[in-house]
Amino acid sequence: MKFKQLIDIIRKTHFSLQQRAVSAVDRNLTVRNWLIGFYIAEFEQNGEDRAVYGDKLIDKIAESVKHIKGLSARNLNLFRQFYFTYPQIMQTVSAELRSSDLGKFEVNFKKSTLRIVQTLSAQLQQAENKELIGVPPNGLITNLSFSQFAELIRLDDTLKRAFYEIECIKGNWSVRELKRQITSLYFERSGLSKDKTKLSEYAQNSAITLAPKDIIQDPFFFEFLGLKDKDIIKESDLEKALLDNLQDFILELGRGFCFEARQKRITIGGEYFFIDLVFYHRILKCHVLIELKIKAFNHVNLGQLNTYLNYFKKNEMQADDSPPVGILLCTDKNQSLVEYATAGIDNNLFISKYQVALPAKEELQKFIEDEISKRNI
């Protein structure tokens, strides 16, 4: 064996077993989420004290398990929907339960796991009597990540969902590609196309395929493993250095800035977005959102920041808070640009106060130029 062959086999061994490890974790994540959805549905139907919680059940559960990352009310509702959309998965889940240590424990709604397995088996028998189209249960769990399931359960049409299941598995699509194909109406175009095979070949050849890093960086995956949001984002060396120094620079100004979050994750319309830096200004009593773009200014960037500001106004702003303000920093080799965004602020007095309390645009522009100069960019 030559040295080059040795290196090649080490690499292949690593990536092969890494893929198996990632797939095993993702499979367990999918099973967990389906089971949680099942537990909630069972409690809604048979829980002894279910009437006490009523419509607030999901919120009560989320509050009780808030120490477990990823079990927000939104996700719990998603898991419940997952269970109702994919009842056929119970066949695989039943087998998982029988072979796991879960059988040793009682579940929260006072039924043993054995009882759950029996219930699942009875429901499975009913499901088998129905005509369920699409990929077999084990094939679904083996080949699709939960993030892909989260996209698929948005589709109400069973035939359309089965179509995308098959195409997604066949092409080993990433979540992003699955979204793109759904948005481009691939199913509808296929129905209208005279040569469906040719259209399928074209779609698969132009598709972005799934790689191990796509799963490893998946928010659901990270929540399941208890990792931090900031670990999801793979920043470039330049962006990381600028953000590190910008964070310190803002705090050193001593104008009432309190650091709150780096790569703050928010969810809008079922999609995840990350805000570079979030501060709270104790004098202005408002959030300050900072977005850094390692490129020249684009109106899309300003639109994105305004979206974040509107999100904060609706979901994060307290009754005695002032409206949030955003600062957009854009840079390229030859220029730097600072844009302030004050979404929906009509009162000129507030704007004037912001201009006094926030860093001057000239200060921020000089910061960017100095940082770029240090790195000979």
Average pLDDT (351-361) is 76
Which tens digit of pLDDT belongs to each residue from 189-239?
A: 877 766 666 666 656 665 555 555 555 556 666 666 665 555 455 556 667
Are residue 52 and residue 151 in the same domain, yes or no?
yes
Are residue 171 and residue 66 in the same domain, yes or no?
yes
The answer to the question of residue 318 being in a domain is yes
Are residue 359 and residue 333 in the same domain, yes or no?
yes
Q: What is the pLDDT of residue 349?
A: 63
Contact 31, 96 (CB under 8 A): yes
Lowest mean pLDDT among 118-127, 257-266, 318-327: 118-127
Q: What is the pLDDT of residue 124?
A: 47
Contacts of residue 26, defined as CB under 8 A and 6 or more positions apart, other chains included, come to 145, 146, 215, 218, 221
- What is the Cα–Cα distance from 275 to 316, expressed in whole angstroms? 14
The answer to the question of residue 105 being in a domain is yes
Contacts of residue 339, defined as CB under 8 A and 6 or more positions apart, other chains included, come to 297, 302, 305, 327, 328, 330
Are residue 192 and residue 260 in the same domain, yes or no?
no
The answer to the question of residue 224 being in a domain is no
Are residue 92 and residue 122 in the same domain, yes or no?
yes
One DSSP character per residue, 229-250 reads GGGT----HHHHHHHHHHHHHH
Q: What is the pLDDT of residue 225?
A: 62
Q: What is the largest CA-CA distance in the chain?
A: 76
The answer to the question of residue 181 being in a domain is yes
Long-range contacts of 223-229 (CB under 8 A, 24+ apart): 223/69, 223/70, 223/75, 224/25, 224/28, 224/29, 224/32, 224/70, 225/25, 226/69, 229/263, 229/264, 229/265, 229/274
Q: Domain range spanning residue 145? A: 3-216
Give the strand pairing for 325-331 and 286-293. Answer: parallel
Give the confidence band of 153 by pLDDT, cuts at 50, 70, 90: very high
Are residue 238 and residue 150 in the same domain, yes or no?
no
Which tens digit of pLDDT belongs to each residue from 286-298?
A: 899 988 887 777 7
Find the radius of gyration of the CA atoms of the chain.
25
- What is the Cα–Cα distance from 138 to 119, expressed in whole angstroms? 19
Are residue 9 and residue 119 in the same domain, yes or no?
yes
Give the strand pairing for 336-341 and 257-268. Answer: unpaired
**Residue 227 backbone phi and psi in degrees, to 5:** -85, 165
The answer to the question of residue 227 being in a domain is no
Are residue 203 and residue 246 in the same domain, yes or no?
no
Q: Among 150, 184, 216, which residue terminates a domain?
A: 216
- What is the Cα–Cα distance from 66 to 83, expressed in whole angstroms? 21
Contact 257, 327 (CB under 8 A): no
Give the confidence band of 256 by pLDDT, cuts at 50, 70, 90: confident
Contact 324, 289 (CB under 8 A): yes
Is the pLDDT at 156 greater than 50? The verdict is yes
Instruction: Give the predicted TM-score (pTM) of the model.
Output: 0.58
The answer to the question of residue 226 being in a domain is no
- What is the Cα–Cα distance from 225 to 10, expressed in whole angstroms? 26
Q: What is the pLDDT of residue 34?
A: 92
- What is the Cα–Cα distance from 63 to 169, expressed in whole angstroms? 36
Q: What is the pLDDT of residue 264?
A: 86
Is the pLDDT at 160 greater than 80? The verdict is yes
Give strand ranges (E) for the chain.
257-268, 271-281, 286-293, 325-331, 336-341
- What is the Cα–Cα distance from 187 to 160, expressed in whole angstroms? 6
Which tens digit of pLDDT belongs to each residue from 32-78?
A: 899 899 988 888 888 778 788 888 889 889 988 888 878 888 889 99
**Residue 375 backbone phi and psi in degrees, to 5:** -100, 5
Residue at 111: amino acid letter: K
How many domains are there within the chain?
A: 2
What's the angle, vertex CA 358, arms to CA 354 and CA 362, rounded to 5?
A: 120
Long-range contacts of 107-114 (CB under 8 A, 24+ apart): 107/39, 108/39, 108/43, 109/39, 109/42, 109/43, 109/46, 109/47, 109/48, 110/48, 111/42
Which tens digit of pLDDT belongs to each residue from 80-138?
A: 999 999 988 887 777 666 665 554 443 443 344 445 444 544 544 554 444 455 678 88
Are residue 197 and residue 244 in the same domain, yes or no?
no
The answer to the question of residue 223 being in a domain is no
Q: Among 187, 216, 245, which residue terminates a domain?
A: 216
Are residue 96 and residue 176 in the same domain, yes or no?
yes
322 three-state secondary structure = coil
Are residue 275 and residue 346 in the same domain, yes or no?
yes
Long-range contacts of 267-271 (CB under 8 A, 24+ apart): 267/74, 268/307, 268/311, 270/150, 270/154
Q: CA-CA-CA-CA torsion for 224, 225, 226, 232, nearest 10 degrees?
A: -90
The answer to the question of residue 279 being in a domain is yes
Are residue 64 and residue 112 in the same domain, yes or no?
yes
Residue at 244: amino acid letter: D
Q: How far apart are the first and last CA of the chain?
A: 44
Residue at 337: amino acid letter: L
User: Which of 75, 85, 94 has its CA nearest to residue 35?
Assistant: 94
CATH of the domain at 238: 3.40.1350.10
